[in-house]
Amino acid sequence: MPGGSLLPLGGGAGPPGGGGGSAGGAGLLLLAPGVRKLWGFRLTEKFVLLLVFSGFITLCFGAIFFLPDSPKLLSGVFFQQPPPPPLQRSPPPPAGEEQQHGGSLARVREEQQQHGGSLARIREEHERALREAKDTLNRLPGDIQGDIRRDKERLARDRAGAAAAGAGKQLPGRVFRPPLGAVGKEPADPAVREKRDKIKEMMKFAWDNYKRYAWGLNELKPVQKQGHSSNLFGNIQGATIVDALDTLHIMEMKDEFKDAKEWVEKNLEFNVNAEVSVFEVNIRFVGGLLSAYYLSGEEVFRRKAVELGEKLLPAFNTPTGIPWALLNIKSGIGRNWPWASGGSSILAEFGTLHLEFIHLSQVSGNPIFAEKVMNIRKVLNRLDKPQGLFPNYLNPNSGQWGQHHVSVGGLGDSFYEYLLKAWLMSDKTDEEAKKMYYDAVQAIETHLIRKSSGGLTYIAEWKGGLLEHKMGHLTCFTGGMFALGADGAPSDKTGHHIELAAEIARTCHESYDRTTMKLGPEAFRFDGGVEAIATRQNEKYYILRPEVIETYMYLWRFTHDPKYRQWGWEAVQALEKYCRVEAGYSGVRDVYASHPNHDDVQQSFYLAETLKYLYLLFSDDDLLPLEHWIFNTEAHPLPVVLKGDRTIEAASK
């Protein structure tokens, strides 16, 4: 090697005058030219120099240990995560320690032998992993770097087109339906009107306290009277503001809507150097901004929605196009949750982007957003489904399912919701989504839906063929979903879907009614002699969730059965009694306790979903009529896309 010489370590007598003895091994020590006369120094100088060189070699070997291991390389993490932080040097040994301990040189040589023996193995594994990762990527369809380049080029063309067209002007391919039913009539029944006014007062109370104690932050801690920021949003702030925009507009809270708009215009920033949940940011921020734009026509909401959509696009830069769960939206580096089945993406997360991304193509004129979510369908349709069911985990590198765990609650829920709503939002032209939805419902009915001995219908979870007789609060949205999808079912199934929706609503109401606080637990079970009751302490909490009230709202719209308004009002009374505190609303840790133990978080979805669905429950059907509006999974209303839209048709091909 130019500029140095190689000396064998061990394997013979020590240097003249040295006290090292023999240290077997085949490692090599690289010495600079100025050290070739090492053995001409005095004994103490030799010890010092050898210790310096051994420390240098140890540092080099230590750096090797910080390289990614082969499993990370194969899973794609090495290519997606930022590099590890620089190595920190250890403090030097006390001066003179080498002279004090006569055996130092032997220990140094033993350490060199140990590290030298592992170096070859480490290098071999590292090189093999690189080869395997390269081979894997070469075998997968598509060129990731090419995709990134093409995405950037398209976005640049889109920005240029928008600038040429002028702010607020319609880009080619954009088709809008005027916002029908953005504001409805006052209910004719005074009792109903009084209840709706009460819900509006609850919204004002929640909003005013957020503004007083947590303005600009993500959420409110109403007990401590301060802000709360979840790591789901990284450093993006203002989740409650964006989530509440359309609720404020629908309730005609004009001053509050104006304040929220001004904050968005001046303070909402997305260029943050932190990881965000792609799913949560999409449904709350993108969905909230799009909905506010369609309801109000304010250009700032369209512009911010498209800007954020562009920031999320790098999440799709995986070998399959299945997006990462987490994304640093400044660097574009993505990864999945560490706990998610060997680096898998989660069905409910990558399956809950379709509505928002279709509308991003609508308002930008750029089909790239629609193309990304259409590709997810293509990947799913190529895969075999166990028993016709969709497992919750999918590896974005291999395109194969993770563990066979199926849930229509957490991890799976909104995927099924978006299949149905994609068909409805397309003006019932998306036949692929329709078929996927009704096929999935058939498999769910066959394998997951059961009836308890007490006559309660519930949806169990499926784990590799074994049923867990547990139903989550999140699963209670399915009552509304089945009702919403009844009209598109085969003619002999329409009534059946409405009946199934009503049975799910009854079960979820029972989960509320069987608690002390008349608020539903996070999960409830149907085994061990209990029905619709939480049996584990970590399932007894309520965090202001909307799913049960969402189902009441849909069933009211489709049946006008007064019991759904009665059940909704019971929930209002329980929220007021147990969740309302001095400065807002808080979740509770145990719905079976006689006195509330508050978790001290006013969730943004309480304003976006829970209060909105309650307000709609006590409104006439002309407010956001379901034939013209589709609610995303965060209850943000988006208009039905007219037939013949060129942007969406191009993306579908």
Phi-psi category of 173—alpha, beta or left, where left has phi over 0 and alpha has psi -120 to 50?
left
The span from the CA of 515 to the CA of 269, in Å, is 42
The residue type of 392 is N
Burial annotation 509-525 (CB, 10 A radius, 16+ → b, else e): bbbbebbebbbbbbbbb
The answer to whether the beta carbons of residues 49 and 41 sit under 8 Å apart is yes
The span from the CA of 298 to the CA of 71, in Å, is 49
The span from the CA of 459 to the CA of 476, in Å, is 9
Closest CA to 383 of 359, 399, 404, 372: 399
DSSP line for 3-30? T-EEEE-SSSPPPTT----------EEE
- Selecting among 356, 417, 510, 522, the annotated active-site residue is 522
- What tokens does 51 get? 């210790």
Residue 461, beta-bridge partner list: 468
Question: In terms of C-beta distances under 8 Å and separation of at least 24 residues, what long-range contacts does 185-191 make, across chains too?
Answer: 185/620, 185/622, 185/623, 187/618, 187/619, 187/620, 188/620
Is the alpha carbon torsion for 562, 566, 567, 571 positive or negative? positive
What is the Rg, in whole angstroms, of the alpha carbon atoms belonging to the chain? Answer: 31
The residue type of 88 is Q
SS3 state of residue 559: helix
The verdict on whether 522 is a catalytic residue reads yes
By annotation, the residues acting in catalysis are 522
